[in-house]
Amino acid sequence: MEGMAYGAGKAGGAFDPITFFQQPHTVLRMVSWLFSLVIFGCIANEGYVNRPNEVVEYCVYNRNQNACNYAVGMGTLAFLCCMAFLALDVYFPQISSVKDRKKAVLADVGVSAFWSFVWFVGFCFLTNQWQVAKLDDNPLKEGADAARAAITFAFFSIFTWAGQAFLAFQRYKLGADSALFSQDYTDPSQDAAAAPYSAFTSGDDLESPGGTGSYQQPSGDGAFDGSAGYQRQDY
C-alpha cells in the first residue's frame, strides 16, 4: 500500500469517521469494549446471592469471592483499555513520526495478546467455579443467567482480543512506505544550515585553461616585451 505507514496515511489529513468505524481493528475493539461492559455489568448486578436464611451475599461462582472479583476487575480494566486504544486509533493518523507509530502498533500487539490470555484464564476459572457450585448455596438459581452470560462473553473476548493482536501484527509487518516515510529523513533547510562552508575547488567557471584547477602563469611568449616598443594594433 503506497503512501501508508503502519496502516495509516501521512499525517495532517482530515478525520473521516466513516472510514474509521469501517476499520476491522476498530470494529473488534468496540466489540471487545461491549463484551467487557457486559461481563462487568452481569457480575456487579447479579453476581452475588445468598441463601434464604442468610443476609450476607456471596459470589454466585461457588461462593468464591475471587471469581467475582476477577470478573469485575478484569471487565473494568478491559473496558478502560478499549477506550484508551480507541482514542489512540483516532489520533494514530496524526502521528507524523514513523518510530512513534511503530511503538504504538507494537503496544497494540502486546496489550491485545495479553488480554486474550487474561480472558482465557478468566473463562477457565469462571467455568470451573460454576461447575463445582453447590445447588444448596443457591436453591433458587438466582443470578444463573448472569453467571452464564459472563462465562460466554469471556469466551468470546478471547477471540476478539486475539483478532486485534493479529491485525496489529499485520500492520506491523506492513511497515512504512520508504518513499514517503523515511526514518532517516532530515529537514533540508536544517541540513543545509548545518553543512560547513566548503571552498570552491572546481567548476566550469573557475577552471583554469589547463584544466588542472589551479592558477597557471602565462607562458613567456605571451608576456609583454618592453624592448619591442609600442606596436600598433589593427582593429
Burial 158-170 (b: 16+ CB within 10 A, else e): bbbbbbbbbbbbe
Q: What pTM, to 2 d.p., does this model score?
A: 0.69
Contact 69, 92 (CB under 8 A): no
> Collapsing DSSP states into helix, strand and coil, what is residue 49?
strand
pLDDT in tens, 206-227: 444 444 444 555 554 544 454 4
pLDDT at 122: 96
Q: Which residues pair with 8 in a beta bridge?
A: 5
Closest by alpha carbon to 70, among 80, 61, 83? 61
Nine-digit cell at 185? 529523513
pLDDT in tens, 134-169: 888 887 788 999 999 999 999 999 999 999 999 999
